[in-house]
Amino acid sequence: MKKSLIALAVLAASGAAMAQSSVTLFGVVDAAYGVGKGSISNKTQLKNSGYNSSRLGFRGVEDLGGGMKASFWLEAGVNNDDGTGSASSALNQAQTAANVGTQGLTFNRRSVVTLSGSMGELILGRDYTPQFWSETVYDAFGTNGVGTSISAFKGGTTGVRSSNGIGWKSPTVGGVALWAQSYMGENASTAAKVGNGNGFRVTFDQGALSVAYADSSLTTGAGTTNKTSNLGASYDLGVAKLMAQSNTTKLTGAADIKGRNIGALVPMAGGTFRVSQAQTDQAGKIAKQTSVGFVNPLSKRTDLYATYARVANSGGSAVALNGASTAANASSTGYEFGVKHSF
């Protein structure tokens, strides 16, 4: 009898602990037929991630009591068009055999453990960079597919994510919130601090209005640092959500890259019409892009989508779309038809 009571007590305690924590498997599988055309060469391909990035992930949270929570997030990029995983730049430096993940499944998209409470959220590990988040939320096409804005400079190893990072997200007070982050290349103290950097993002969200300013820097060599800043905003009118952003990247030893884009998401025929116009300018090399697309939901988890984009180059620019190649000052076009399923 005594043993039975002990066993029941253990099971009850275990059940209570399980009730306070949870683990979720989630993912996206997105594939698209894509075509790019240029004055030099064209390209046809089956692509992944034309609307949302394909991924497989695990996330969990535990209630620690007193308003405190511990959580983890492990998310791997999946190239579902050929079955490979996506590589990860482990040290925020140029990818080489020594510091890049294999093409098997790696948790390259996000791999963090966090503690959150009334003072905000502490984030440790590989995560998005603050300035990238503004680039994606204020672009009608996000940062996926042929329609995504060419004005957002995503080059460099921390253009999207950083490894070995320490981040903090503040509570939202009066609509204002701060996201700060510092990341390390983890080099010896006698070497250049390549891969070290930091960034922050300040947001104001109030009703239909959202505004954010973000800034980041990355040491790329002895005495060389790349810096990126952007300002974005959106306003939801109900009949359409308008958005715009401008960004500047300062490169050591090279001309600044300046970009801007405006766009809109318009509910239409049970789906969403997307449109944007963007421009990037580096030392007079100018590329202007116009993108249109439509997303048709078949269910809460499955969407069909189509996107068309055209780039006009001038001043020696030779930007091409969807893997095509085009001569300086020539145009390029691209289009995609795809399906996205999330789970």
DSSP run (H or E) holding 17: helix 2-19
With respect to residue 1, please indicate whether it lies within any of the assigned structural domains.
no
With respect to residue 14, please indicate whether it lies within any of the assigned structural domains.
no
Q: Helix (H, G, I), strand (E, B), or coil: what is residue 16?
A: helix
- In the numeric block, which tokens belong to residue 305? 């989508």
Using an 8 Å Cβ cutoff, are 149 and 234 in contact? no
Instruction: Please report, for the domain that includes residue 66, its CATH number.
Output: 2.40.160.10
- In the numeric block, which tokens belong to residue 246? 């401008």
With respect to residue 10, please indicate whether it lies within any of the assigned structural domains.
no
Using an 8 Å Cβ cutoff, are 109 and 77 in contact? yes
Number of domains in the chain: 1
DSSP run (H or E) holding 2: helix 2-19
- In the numeric block, which tokens belong to residue 234? 């959106």
With respect to residue 8, please indicate whether it lies within any of the assigned structural domains.
no
Question: How many Cβ atoms from other residues are within 10 Å of residue 73's Cβ?
Answer: 22
One digit per residue, pLDDT tens: the chain, 343 residues?
A: 444 444 444 444 444 444 478 999 999 999 999 999 999 999 999 999 999 999 999 999 999 999 999 999 999 999 999 998 887 777 777 655 555 545 678 999 999 999 999 999 999 999 999 999 989 999 999 999 999 987 655 555 578 899 999 999 999 999 999 999 999 999 898 888 888 999 999 999 999 999 999 999 998 888 788 899 999 999 999 999 999 999 999 888 889 999 999 999 999 999 999 999 999 999 999 999 999 999 999 999 999 999 999 999 999 999 999 999 999 999 999 999 999 999 9
Q: How far apart are CA 148 and CA 166, in angstroms?
A: 29
With respect to residue 2, please indicate whether it lies within any of the assigned structural domains.
no
How high is the pLDDT of residue 8? 40
With respect to residue 274, please indicate whether it lies within any of the assigned structural domains.
yes
The string of DSSP letters for 108-138 reads -SEEEEEEEETTEEEEEEEEE-HHHHHHHHT
How high is the pLDDT of residue 240? 98
Q: How far apart are CA 313 and CA 95, in angstroms?
A: 30
The DSSP code for 89 is B
* pTM more than 0.85: yes
Domain that holds residue 90: 23-342
With respect to residue 4, please indicate whether it lies within any of the assigned structural domains.
no
How high is the pLDDT of residue 97? 54
Rg from Cα positions in the chain: 22
Using an 8 Å Cβ cutoff, are 183 and 196 in contact? yes
How high is the pLDDT of residue 225? 86
Using an 8 Å Cβ cutoff, are 45 and 323 in contact? yes
With respect to residue 143, please indicate whether it lies within any of the assigned structural domains.
yes
